[in-house]
Amino acid sequence: DDHNKENIFNTINYDVAAKKRKKDLLNNKAKTQYFHQEKWIYVHKGSTKERHGYCTLGEAFNRLDFSSAILDSRRFNYVVRLLELIAKSQLTSLSGIAQKNYMNILEKVVQKVLEDQQNIRLIRELLQTLYTSLCTLVQRVGKSVLVGNINMWVHRMESILHWQQQLNNIQITRPAFKGTTFTDLPLCLQLNIMQRLSDGRDLVSLGQVAPDLQVLSEDRLLWKKLCQYHFTDRQIRKRLILSDKGQLDWKKMYFKLIRCYPRKEQYGDTLQLCRHCHILSWKGTDHPCTANNPETCSTSLSPQEFINLFRF
């Protein structure tokens, strides 16, 4: 009888343990699936009866699926600008997981640029900004400014230097296409296309391709429209520069203005905040909103406005 009782007791323990393992496994699977299904995050800035604590920049950075966003050409520049702003001043506010996620996304950005051979200068500037910030932070060892072992951050800095070298070694090959090229177009169309460039440095680079393009890239009206696009009339009036002929030198004014004022930022797709339910998500992402017309409640956020949401 004692032997049978012991067997029954062991069987019960085994059944309980098996059920507990099965329950834990189901819970883990459910949490994983739920995490991947969510493409939004509720931005709360204080404790309530329903929620304790507040939402952090690191949480938002982990939850909003930036890895997929960089593959979308409409969101790529937005994510890169956000990475740059975080590198400048917000890196230490990220949790250890968020910092690791930041470096993983940055690596994917670099690999995409190496494959596509596009936005090279943009990523060079991002890497240089991040490396400069890390140099300053690493020098403050022992003051709890970085999460993790210092050797890990030194390794990450070495990775940044390696990525910079890879970008510097890119050799852009001329396509084998022998049809109509940019310079074959009528001058009015060439100018029309050049007016779509929002960065003066792109105009200068384009002018270095061919002598005819050099002449077009110096067009005064082109630089005037570029100045008027990025800056207000008041800002322009404060930075007037006259040429030798007594005319306004719009090209010199543009490069002087960008040193004094921030340029206008435009993105194909942005993160949006719902004013009704305070949920943050990418444009076009469904979220559980109780408003009658959720589309009218969404406000587009610039990268800087996104970061400002988490300043308490």
**Residues 252-270: pLDDT tens digits?**
999 999 999 988 888 888 9
> Please, is 148 exposed, middle or buried when counting C-beta atoms within 10 Å of its C-beta (0-12, 13-18, 19+)?
exposed
Helices (H) then strands (E): counts for the chain: 14, 4
In Å, what is the CA distance from 189 to each residue of 54, 218, 257? 53, 16, 28
Most confident residue range from 3-7, 132-136, 141-145: 132-136
The residue ranking higher by pLDDT, 274 or 146, is 274
Residue 310 has what pLDDT?
A: 83
**What average pLDDT score do residues 100-126 get?**
92
pLDDT tens digits for range 31-69: 433 334 467 888 876 555 555 456 788 888 888 888 888
In the chain, where are the structural domains located? 40-169, 199-260
Q: What is the mean pLDDT of the chain?
A: 81
The C-alpha atoms of residue 64 and residue 82 are separated, in whole angstroms, by 13
> What is residue 31's predicted lDDT score, i.e. its pLDDT?
41
Average pLDDT over residues 1-13: 51
Look at residue 117 in the predicted model and tell me its pLDDT. 87
Q: Give mean pLDDT, residues 178-205.
A: 87
pTM given for the model: 0.76
Distance CA 119, CA 112 (A): 10
Strands in 75-196 per DSSP E: none
Tokens of 86: 């975080």
Question: Could you read off the pLDDT of 65-102 as tens digits, one per residue?
Answer: 888 889 988 999 999 999 999 999 888 888 888 889 99
Give the list of residues 6+ apart from residue 276 with CB closer than 8 angstroms, or none. Answer: 289, 290, 291, 294, 297
For residue 167, pLDDT beyond 80: yes
Partners of 42 in the beta sheet? Answer: 279
**In the chain, where do the E strands start and end?**
40-42, 271-274, 279-282, 298-301
Please give the pLDDT value at position 255: 93
